[in-house]
Structure 1
Amino acid sequence: MDIALIRVDDRLIHGQVVMGWTQALGIQQILVADDATAANPTQKNLMLLAVPAGVRADILSIADSARIVEQSGSDVKTIVIVKGPRELKALHDAGMKMTEVNVGNVHTGPGRKRLTKEVHASDDEIAIWRELSDQGVRLEAQWLPGTARTDLGKLVAGLSHDHA
């Protein structure tokens, strides 16, 4: 598998965003790494309806996703999508190599701080973003191809630890 993009987006496969990235990068396959979605046939089937024509999609557990990427010798251009920082860390800890991650959409909610217009995080998630960044994973917050990018690693590193 040729991993063209690893993306964090709490909507996982989402029409407008997935179409933008698949077209911009020439994506041939989408791999969703999410334990809950992989275990829910109804949610999985509904999500697969949003896959662009001509693009293959798989929704697998995090462990299965990491294993398949590791073992695949194919050159199919793939986007890997996870729901949030916890899932990204689990994928990283399961052995998926990642040097750069696109962080697209992580919703707001109680106890969550706004990091960028589209990215919000709890204190625990900020700690995860920091940890991944400290391990050499470049975190770029970017909504769609061609839109402005924010260095999320630098942003979370600059937050005081008592506010994060």
Structure 2
Amino acid sequence: MTMDIRLARVDSRLLHGQVATFWTRAVTPNRIMVVSDSVAKDPLRKTLITQVAPPGVKANVVTVNKMIRAYFDSRFDSFNTLLLTETVADMLKLAEGGIDFSKIGINIGSIAYNDGMTMLTDAISMNGDIAKQIRTLANDFHLDVYAQKIPAEKKENLLTLLDKKGF
């Protein structure tokens, strides 16, 4: 047995209102795992994230390596997990570490805009490096990588969106 990951989401805002309300209702986790090396080292951000978890759901902030170890540790088999990363790169590291996302795919909720990026959707910005990481998840790991802000919205295939914008 391994941990039950019910949603794997890339969201540059990590745990916020949409995730805490809509997504937790949709996937009914008992644990939110925020996976970020930088947030795990930042006591203020770590505290803020653990405090915004909805009632009845515990939030943890862990490094990428700690998440990989926990996934394979039978002590965490009871976790029904909503997994959040800040970047596609971190999600790719989790897949490379052996975490199986084949049943659920990878949800891309938001990627913050920075200089030199192109808007793919109203919430997802893209550059060549991120596009390559998404294609690796989709092609090398055979994962469904999709855009979906909230559960009520229709999923959009990320590869199709990348192709439309020339990535």
**What TM-score, normalized by structure 2, do the two folds share?**
0.89
Shift of 1:18: 2.4
Displacement of 1:159 in angstroms is 5.1
Q: Give the Cα separation in 1 of the matches to 2:83 and 2:71.
A: 10
Matches of 1:137 and 1:154 in 2, distance apart? 14
- Equivalent pair of 2:106/2:144 in contact (CA under 8 Å): yes
Instruction: Compute the displacement of 1:39 (Å).
Output: 1.0
Q: 2:79 aligns with which of 76, 81, 103?
A: 76
Q: For residues 144-163 of structure 1, what are the structure 2 equivalents within 5 Å? A: 144-156=150-162, 158=163, 163=166
Matched residue, 2:34: 32
Structure 2 residue aligned with 1:87? 90
Task: Give the match for residue 137 of structure 1.
Answer: 143
Counterpart amino acid of 2:85? V
Summarize deviations over 1:8-66 as a string: whole Å, max 9, x none: 00111112332211011111110011000011111100111111111011100001001
Length, aligned pairs only: 161
Structure 2, gaps ≥5 residues long: none
Report the CA distance between 1:108 and its aligned residue. Answer: 1.5
Aligned structure 1 segments of 4 or more residues deviating by more than 3 angstroms: none
Structure-2 separation of matches of 1:155 and 1:137: 16
SS at match of 1:146: coil
Conserved? CA contact 2:6–2:82, under 8 Å: yes
Equivalent position of 1:16 in the other structure: 18
Q: 1:6 and 1:44 mapped to 2: Cα distance?
A: 19
Unaligned runs of 5+ in 1: none
- Give the match's secondary structure for 1:52: coil
State whether structure 2 residue 57 is matched by structure 1 residue 55: yes
Matched, 1:111 2:116: yes
What's the secondary structure of 1:31's corresponding residue?
strand
Task: Tell me the percent identity.
Answer: 28
- Which residue does the alignment assign to 2:66? 64
Give the partner amino acid of 1:152. Answer: L
Per-residue deviation, 1:76: 2.9
Which shows bigger deviation, 71-80 or 33-42?
71-80
